[in-house]
């Protein structure tokens, strides 16, 4: 009996092992590899007569047979992801499994399973309970999917679905999808997801649902909401989370519960797309446009795209939801009235806000007409001041953290460059450091210019820290209606480094302690703030002229999402006698992006962008991949890519693939490593896939030749996000 397991090896060839007992594909095994013993997955198992052909094989050390084998659907997903993203099967399979599984012997695993089974709160299932649930065991009054209780608790949670929500749900039930839930910010998309999940779980007592969110830490609200909604009804442990903020034991517990079918809902980030869910029937991808669905290291997969593939493979319905869908998804979706029948996705539109709330009025401030060096225009400050007086909240959005992006000497021209990167170190006033946001290199701010000794080195430009300080100074003389001082707060990657800090800061905003919140894109996403009535983007222009063709798309969605934080509670606005406003300070007010934003007109923006991309032959009208090489010198990195390019001439699909010259990355050097990349593009996805598959072995071979010797690493990024 021979067992094949994918191994850690970069080549990803299946390795063969011997076993005296048959092992079904998907069985988890421990196998010897070199001098170590590693985790493997049985991929195929074939019988051999006698011990012929198996004598030279090493034997499987043990099977983790307390676990049922990984299902065929899961193995297909892993195989597809490996093939599509040009990685080895073993690498993808191992990355898809919880890390702790690698370290457990079959005895340890069996003990763990037994412990969990005896402490499980749901007697119906012999499987596992997630002990990480804050509610703990013993809360559940019923087994999974008890319909009577289901009906009751639904009433307890009852909000009547809006007409738009009801219509979206009806179409969701009637059709197979995949679906794009195109709903304005505040239209109640989450409620639609949760109702779709609830209906499925009540109807099918084994069914599982996967709910994916971009960054779970950003929306602690959601996790609580999902648990509240479903744990009473389907038992504690019915909901598990999967994301990188969890400890390895927590992740393993969640994974095991999903694999055993006991967890009915998995709520997770992009990694959750690989969760083993034997009865998966529904996948939700919330904020499907969010760039964090794209993994940026190792196998550079798009969890959104894999979710669509997985749904199709396993017969699970898929809902992609967004107020600002990715242009790819938008292009693939068809409007309800059936025009443009080309799209594969069913578009469910919810243009209105819950409670008939209006989307905020967008006000542009022409910065060309402001006095030089204006940070916040007088009109904007007035508007914020009025809100403070009424006890409402404002949000000021600036996508740059730190105090100032550069520190400079006016005498000699010295700037705070990072010695290890082709980038400036950012000045952080709070701890008086210069920090490189690329390699992390940090130093105390020098007392005087390191080049000429001038003591007057000054910050140039502005980040969130400086904006917070500035607002603090401006509003220092102002008092709130209760006489207390105005409270300015800041949320960004710096303010939230400590565990629990973000949740705490968000809670302070929700409770109304904060008057003005300054922050990066972290504050733009998903939050359901009830008292925010004004949002301002103070310096959004940079992204308009970026060399990255996706920059306008990202900016538009960020601004729409930011606007979506204002005026979410129509009742609150009415009782306050207030209006919701989104302020944009710009030098380019007539830019079509801002014009579309003013009208909240995503379709118009998308059409304009898609027209441009069609003409230019860019995604979604073409398919792209990047090959990147890192080396000590730019020349070494580029030489490797030149050689790779030359080697590709002979490939069968070369004529259908456009190859661009190797160029340095936008940030060319990081941590003393020079980076170069080469774009390849084709109008045919299949041609590009075949081309890349044929090219891979040549690249591996080149790495061993003199031209590849100095290369530190190379990689392929399929459907890259940043070019
Ligand atoms: P979105 O995700 O589309 O921005 P949410 O799902 O966060 O919107 O919903 C916005 C707000 O409206 C939330 O506070 C939510 O609880 C509330 N809500 C959603 N659906 C309804 C409904 N049918 N009736 C009353 N309130 C609702
Ligand atoms: Zn100087
Ligand atoms: Zn650096």
CA-CA distance, 19 to 27, in Å (whole number)?
A: 12
Q: In CATH, what number is assigned to the domain containing residue 585?
A: 3.40.50.300
Report residue 532's pLDDT band, with 50, 70 and 90 as the boundaries. very high
Please indicate, yes or no, whether residues 428 and 527 belong to a single structural domain of this protein. Answer: no
Query: Does the annotation list 45 as a binding residue?
Result: no
Identify whether the C-beta of residue 437 lies closer than 8 Å to the C-beta of residue 426: yes
State pLDDT tens for residues 102-143: 888 777 877 877 777 665 544 333 333 333 333 333 333 333
**Closest ligand 1 atom, CA of 165?**
23
Give the residue, out of 190, 349, 524, with the most ligand 1 atoms within 8 A of its beta carbon, to mutate for a pocket test. 190
The mean pLDDT value for 377-383 works out to 96
**Domain stop point among 422, 441, 461:** 461
pLDDT at residue 722 in the model: 76
Nearest one of 361, 371, 420, 396 to 471, comparing CA atoms? 396
Ligand 1 in contact with 210 (CB < 6 A)?
A: no
CA-CA distance, 542 to 230, in Å (whole number)?
A: 44
pLDDT at residue 340 in the model: 56
Residue 110 falls within a domain, yes or no? no
Mean pLDDT of all residues belonging to the chain: 88
Q: What is the DSSP string of 664-696?
A: EEEEEEETTEEEEEEEEEES-HHHHHHHHHHHH
The mean pLDDT value for 362-382 works out to 94
Report residue 149's pLDDT band, with 50, 70 and 90 as the boundaries. very low
Please indicate, yes or no, whether residues 473 and 444 belong to a single structural domain of this protein. Answer: no
Q: What stretches of 120-202 adopt beta strand conformation (E)?
A: 179-183
Please indicate, yes or no, whether residues 504 and 442 belong to a single structural domain of this protein. Answer: no
The mean pLDDT value for 392-406 works out to 94
**Domain stop point among 415, 439, 461:** 461
Please indicate, yes or no, whether residues 542 and 655 belong to a single structural domain of this protein. Answer: no
Please indicate, yes or no, whether residues 35 and 156 belong to a single structural domain of this protein. Answer: no
pLDDT at residue 157 in the model: 56
Please indicate, yes or no, whether residues 371 and 468 belong to a single structural domain of this protein. Answer: yes
Other beta carbons within 10 angstroms of residue 601's beta carbon come to 14
Please indicate, yes or no, whether residues 429 and 525 belong to a single structural domain of this protein. Answer: no
CA-CA distance, 483 to 623, in Å (whole number)?
A: 59
Please indicate, yes or no, whether residues 138 and 179 belong to a single structural domain of this protein. Answer: yes
Please indicate, yes or no, whether residues 447 and 483 belong to a single structural domain of this protein. Answer: no
State pLDDT tens for residues 649-706: 999 999 999 999 999 999 999 999 999 999 999 999 999 999 999 999 999 999 999 9
**Domain stop point among 461, 480, 508:** 461
Residue 475 falls within a domain, yes or no? yes
Q: Supply the pTM of this predicted model.
A: 0.90
Please indicate, yes or no, whether residues 363 and 491 belong to a single structural domain of this protein. Answer: yes
pLDDT at residue 6 in the model: 42
pLDDT at residue 413 in the model: 94
The two tokens of residue 374 are: 């204006």
CA-CA distance, 304 to 320, in Å (whole number)?
A: 8
Q: What is the length of the chain?
A: 723
Pairing of strands 265-268, 239-242: parallel
CA-CA distance, 177 to 165, in Å (whole number)?
A: 17
Q: List CB-based neighbours of ion ligand 3 within 5 Å.
A: 418, 420-421, 436, 438-439, 441
Ligand 1 in contact with 162 (CB < 6 A)?
A: yes
State pLDDT tens for residues 246-280: 899 999 999 999 999 999 999 999 999 999 999 99
- Phi, psi for residue 607 in degrees, rounded to 5: -65, -45
The mean pLDDT value for 169-178 works out to 93
User: How much is the ipTM here?
Assistant: 0.97
DSSP single-letter state for residue 439: T
Identify whether the C-beta of residue 684 lies closer than 8 Å to the C-beta of residue 690: no
Helix (H) or strand (E) holding 630: strand 623-631
- On the question of pLDDT at 50 being above 70, the answer is no
Helix (H) or strand (E) holding 62: strand 62-63
DSSP single-letter state for residue 476: T
Q: What is the DSSP string of 501-545?
A: HHHHHHHHHHTT--SEEEESGGGTSS---SSEEEEEES--GGGGG
Give the residue, out of 191, 325, 356, 557, with the most ligand 1 atoms within 8 A of its beta carbon, to mutate for a pocket test. 191
Report residue 215's pLDDT band, with 50, 70 and 90 as the boundaries. confident
Q: In CATH, what number is assigned to the domain containing residue 680?
A: 3.30.70.600
The mean pLDDT value for 352-369 works out to 90
Between the CA of 720 and the centroid of ligand 3 the distance, in Å, is 23
Between the CA of 413 and the centroid of ligand 3 the distance, in Å, is 20
Between the CA of 372 and the centroid of ligand 2 the distance, in Å, is 25
pLDDT at residue 119 in the model: 59
CA-CA distance, 7 to 30, in Å (whole number)?
A: 11
Long-range contacts of 619-623 (CB under 8 A, 24+ apart): 619/327, 619/328, 619/719, 620/327, 620/328, 620/331, 620/332, 621/683, 622/681, 622/682, 622/683, 623/681, 623/682, 623/683, 623/684, 623/685, 623/688, 623/719
Residue 108 falls within a domain, yes or no? no
Identify whether the C-beta of residue 674 lies closer than 8 Å to the C-beta of residue 668: yes
State pLDDT tens for residues 605-620: 999 999 999 999 999 9
Residue 115 falls within a domain, yes or no? no
Residue 520 falls within a domain, yes or no? yes
Please indicate, yes or no, whether residues 362 and 336 belong to a single structural domain of this protein. Answer: no
Query: Does the annotation list 436 as a binding residue?
Result: yes
- On the question of pLDDT at 226 being above 60, the answer is yes
pLDDT at residue 292 in the model: 93
By percentage, how much of the chain surpasses pLDDT 90?
A: 69
**Closest ligand 1 atom, CA of 161?**
23
By percentage, how much of the chain surpasses pLDDT 70?
A: 90
Ligand 1 in contact with 185 (CB < 6 A)?
A: yes
Please indicate, yes or no, whether residues 586 and 655 belong to a single structural domain of this protein. Answer: no
Quote the domain boundaries for residue 641.
Answer: 623-718
The mean pLDDT value for 412-431 works out to 95
Residue 559 falls within a domain, yes or no? yes
What is the count of structural domains for the chain? 5
CA-CA distance, 480 to 530, in Å (whole number)?
A: 19
pLDDT at residue 3 in the model: 47
- On the question of pLDDT at 152 being above 50, the answer is no
Weakest-pLDDT range from 43-47, 129-133, 177-181, 625-629? 129-133
State pLDDT tens for residues 289-345: 999 999 988 889 999 999 999 999 999 999 999 999 999 999 999 876 655 556 789
Spell out a b/e string for 581-597, using b for 16 or more CB atoms within 10 Å of the CB, else e. bbbbbbebbebebbbbb
């Amino acid at each position: 009996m021979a067992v094949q397991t994918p191994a850690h090896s970069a080549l990803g060839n299946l390795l063969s092992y011997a076993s005296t007992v048959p092992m079904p594909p998907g069985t988890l095994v421990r196998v010897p590899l070199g001098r170590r013993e590693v985790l493997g997955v049985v991929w195929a198992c074939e019988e051999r007569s006698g011990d012929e052909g198996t004598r030279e094989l090493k034997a499987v050390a043990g099977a983790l047979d307390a676990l049922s084998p990984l299902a065929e659907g899961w193995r297909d997903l892993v195989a597809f992801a490996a093939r599509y993203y040009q990685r080895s099967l073993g690498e993808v399979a191992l990355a898809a499994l919880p890390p702790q599984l690698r370290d457990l012997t079959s005895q340890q695993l069996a003990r763990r399973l037994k412990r969990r089974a005896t402490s499980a709160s749901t007697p119906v299932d012999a499987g596992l309970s997630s002990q990480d649930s804050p509610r703990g065991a013993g809360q559940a009054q019923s087994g999974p999917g008890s319909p009577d209780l289901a009906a009751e608790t639904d009433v307890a949670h009852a909000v009547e679905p809006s007409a738009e929500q009801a219509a979206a749900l009806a179409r969701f039930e009637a059709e197979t999808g995949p679906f794009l839930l195109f709903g304005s910010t505040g239209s109640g998309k989450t409620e639609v997801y949760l109702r779709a999940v609830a209906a499925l779980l009540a109807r099918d007592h084994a069914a599982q649902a996967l709910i994916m969110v971009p960054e779970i830490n950003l929306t602690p609200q959601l996790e609580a909401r999902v648990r509240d909604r479903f744990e009473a009804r389907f038992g504690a442990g019915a909901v598990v989370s999967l994301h990188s903020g969890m400890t390895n034991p927590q992740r393993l517990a969640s994974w095991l519960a999903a694999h055993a079918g006991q967890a009915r809902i998995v709520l997770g980030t992009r990694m959750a797309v690989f969760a083993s869910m034997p009865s998966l029937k529904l996948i939700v991808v919330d904020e499907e446009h969010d760039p964090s669905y794209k993994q940026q290291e190792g196998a550079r997969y798009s969890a959104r795209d894999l979710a669509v593939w997985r749904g199709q493979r396993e017969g699970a319905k898929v809902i992609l939801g967004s107020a600002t869908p990715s242009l790819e998804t938008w292009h693939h979706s068809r409007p309800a009235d059936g025009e443009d029948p080309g799209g594969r996705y069913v578009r469910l539109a919810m243009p209105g806000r819950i409670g008939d709330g209006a989307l905020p009025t967008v006000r542009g401030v022409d910065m060309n007409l402001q006095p030089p060096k204006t940070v916040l225009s007088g009109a904007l400050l007035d508007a914020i001041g009025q809100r403070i007086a009424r006890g409402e909240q404002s949000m000021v959005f600036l996508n740059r953290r730190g105090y100032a992006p550069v520190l400079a000497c006016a005498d000699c021209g010295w700037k705070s460059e990072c010695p290890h990167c082709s980038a400036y170190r950012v000045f952080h006033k709070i701890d008086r450091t210069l920090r490189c946001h690329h390699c992390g290199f940090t130093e105390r701010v020098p007392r005087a210019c390191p080049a000429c000794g001038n003591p007057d080195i000054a910050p140039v430009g502005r980040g969130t820290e400086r904006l917070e300080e500035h607002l603090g100074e401006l509003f220092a003389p102002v008092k709130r209606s209760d006489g207390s001082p105005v409270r300015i707060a800041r949320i960004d990657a710096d303010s939230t480094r400590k565990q629990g800090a973000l949740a705490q800061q968000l809670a302070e905003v929700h409770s109304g302690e904060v008057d003005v919140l300054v922050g990066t894109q972290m504050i733009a996403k998903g939050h359901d703030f009830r008292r925010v009535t004004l949002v301002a983007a103070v310096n959004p222009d940079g992204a308009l002229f970026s060399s990255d063709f996706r920059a306008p798309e990202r900016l538009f969605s960020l601004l729409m999402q930011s606007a979506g934080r204002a005026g979410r509670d129509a009742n609150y606005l009415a009782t306050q006698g207030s209006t919701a406003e989104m302020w944009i300070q710009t030098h380019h007010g007539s830019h079509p992006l801002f014009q579309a934003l003013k009208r909240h007109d995503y379709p118009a923006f998308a059409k304009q962008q898609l027209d441009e991309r069609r003409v230019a032959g860019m995604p979604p009208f073409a398919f792209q991949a990047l090959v990147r090489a890192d080396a000590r010198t730019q020349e070494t990195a580029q030489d490797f890519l030149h050689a790779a390019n030359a080697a590709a001439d002979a490939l069968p699909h070369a004529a259908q693939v456009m190859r661009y010259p190797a160029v340095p990355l936008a940030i060319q050097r990081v941590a003393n490593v020079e980076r170069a990349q080469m774009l390849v593009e084709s109008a045919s996805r299949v041609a590009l896939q075949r081309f890349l598959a044929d090219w891979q072995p040549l690249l591996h071979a080149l790495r061993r030749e003199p031209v590849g010797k100095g290369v530190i690493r190379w990689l392929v990024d399929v459907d890259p996000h940043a070019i």
